């Protein structure tokens, strides 16, 4: 029904539609003149075959505008052909013209229907993809909000209680030492060991809270958060961070996505690549921004299949409209680069 409504309301504001209709007028005028003056009699080109030229504008209308405008163009051709159909039998050839006009109308309908179906399928696919991307963005946003909440709760409740417990254990150890030799050395050692264990758990909770959602990312931005991430102690990896250009704040979702990508690339370099050195570079310029994580690890093999980590980085980059590029050479290293798309750099 929508297609037939489109035939009743063609795209009158589109210059291409009027060009098509003008071409139909020219073909109809040429055909009428040739029939009236019998210009093509005796030539190898039959006069009735000029009707076939209508396939050009009708087919173009179907390909560009769809079913409605193509049918409207065919109906317009019928209207323009009426004077020719009313010519005397010895000057016109109404029978052949009517047959060809019917065939052209059928072609317009058939091609228009196919084009319309493809457009509808494409529109539905694009709509489904847009809905999926919107849901993915909402999911990522909910995950980040949950990370922020858990990080805050870890810092406000367990961490503070462990700090208080460590202080009390320190006070107990100092009091026990003042009372020596009454308390045994074993009791003092146990208090000291309990305090050290408390400090270890406290450090792990703080590290977990920073990994979930570093407060510096919200307070100071991407550069400060990445520098703090790189500065965290690593067991066997030397890590460096450089900033090129004048750093500036990026939109919140972009900063979160870039930070997570850098975090995952560092984790992969330490856990899987067996890297000895990792360099993180943040670049800012009027043309855009770029973040690169390069390690000197064993690289990715030719038959490597992306795991959850790489797929997660790709999804995060796609969610904010960024480009993610991963280049790797076996036994040389891997470079992960995320940047603004070309359109955003201009």
Which pLDDT tens digit goes with each residue over 295-320? 988 887 666 667 777 888 888 898 88
- pTM score: 0.50
| pLDDT for position 44 | 44
Q: Which of 130, 9, 21, 212 is nearest to 1 (CA)?
A: 9
For the segment 154-181, the average pLDDT, to the nearest whole number, is 69
Compute the distance between CA of residue 334 and CA of residue 322 in angstroms, rounded to an integer: 19
First-to-last C-alpha distance (Å) of the chain: 43
Share of the chain above pLDDT 90, in %: 12
Question: Average pLDDT over the chain, rounded to whole?
Answer: 76
| pLDDT for position 35 | 67
Q: Which of 63, 54, 53 is nearest to 112 (CA)?
A: 63
pLDDT over threshold 50, residue 210: yes
pLDDT over threshold 70, residue 6: no
Taking the mean position of all CA atoms in its chain, how far away is CA 260? Answer: 17
pLDDT over threshold 60, residue 2: no
Question: CB-based burial of residue 136 (10 Å sphere; 0-12 exposed, 13-18 middle, 19+ buried)?
Answer: middle
| pLDDT for position 240 | 93
Compute the distance between CA of residue 313 and CA of residue 60 in angstroms, rounded to an integer: 43
Which pLDDT tens digit goes with each residue over 222-256? 999 899 889 887 767 889 999 999 988 888 888 88
Which pLDDT tens digit goes with each residue over 62-83? 777 777 777 777 877 888 777 7
H helices of the chain, in order, are 2-8, 15-37, 55-65, 67-85, 94-156, 158-178, 185-212, 215-219, 222-231, 252-271, 308-319, 342-345
Q: Kindly state the greatest CA–CA separation across the chain.
A: 136
pLDDT over threshold 50, residue 90: no
For the segment 94-110, the average pLDDT, to the nearest whole number, is 73
Which pLDDT tens digit goes with each residue over 168-189? 777 777 776 766 665 566 666 7
Share of the chain above pLDDT 70, in %: 70
Q: Which of 200, 257, 252, 263 is nearest to 228 (CA)?
A: 263
Instruction: Give the tokens for residue 195.
Output: 């305090």
Residue with more model confidence, 180 or 46: 180
SS3 142: helix
């Amino acid at each position: 029904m929508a297609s037939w409504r489109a035939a009743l309301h063609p795209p009158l504001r589109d210059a291409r539609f009027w060009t098509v209709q003008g071409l139909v007028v020219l073909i109809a005028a040429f055909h009428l003149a040739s029939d009236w003056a019998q210009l093509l009699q005796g030539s190898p080109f039959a006069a009735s075959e000029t009707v076939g030229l209508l396939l050009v504008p009708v087919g173009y209308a179907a390909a560009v505008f769809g079913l409605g405008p193509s049918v409207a163009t065919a109906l317009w051709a019928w209207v323009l052909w009426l004077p020719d159909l009313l010519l005397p039998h010895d000057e016109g050839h109404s029978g052949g013209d009517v047959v060809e006009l019917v065939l052209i109308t059928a072609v317009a309908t058939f091609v228009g229907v196919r084009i319309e179906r493809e457009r509808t399928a494409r529109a539905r696919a694009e709509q489904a993809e847009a809905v999926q991307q919107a849901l993915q963005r909402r999911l990522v946003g909910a995950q980040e909000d949950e990370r922020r909440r858990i990080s805050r709760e870890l810092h406000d409740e367990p961490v503070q209680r462990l700090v208080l417990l460590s202080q009390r254990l320190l006070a107990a150890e100092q009091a026990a030492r003042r009372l020596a030799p009454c308390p045994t050395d074993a009791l003092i050692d146990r208090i000291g060991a309990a305090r050290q264990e408390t400090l270890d758990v406290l450090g792990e909770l703080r590290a977990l809270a920073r990994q979930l959602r570093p407060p510096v990312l919200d307070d100071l931005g991407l550069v400060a958060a990445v520098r703090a991430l790189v500065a965290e102690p690593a067991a066997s990896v030397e890590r460096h961070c450089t900033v090129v250009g004048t750093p500036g704040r990026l939109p919140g979702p972009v900063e979160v996505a870039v930070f997570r990508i850098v975090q995952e690339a560092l984790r992969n370099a330490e856990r899987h690549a067996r890297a000895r050195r990792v360099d993180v570079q943040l670049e800012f310029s009027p043309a855009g921004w770029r973040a690169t994580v390069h390690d000197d690890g064993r690289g990715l093999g030719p038959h490597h299949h992306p795991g959850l980590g790489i797929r997660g980085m790709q999804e995060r980059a796609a969610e904010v409209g960024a480009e993610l590029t991963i280049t790797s050479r076996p036994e040389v290293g891997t470079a992960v680069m995320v940047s603004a798309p070309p359109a955003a750099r201009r």
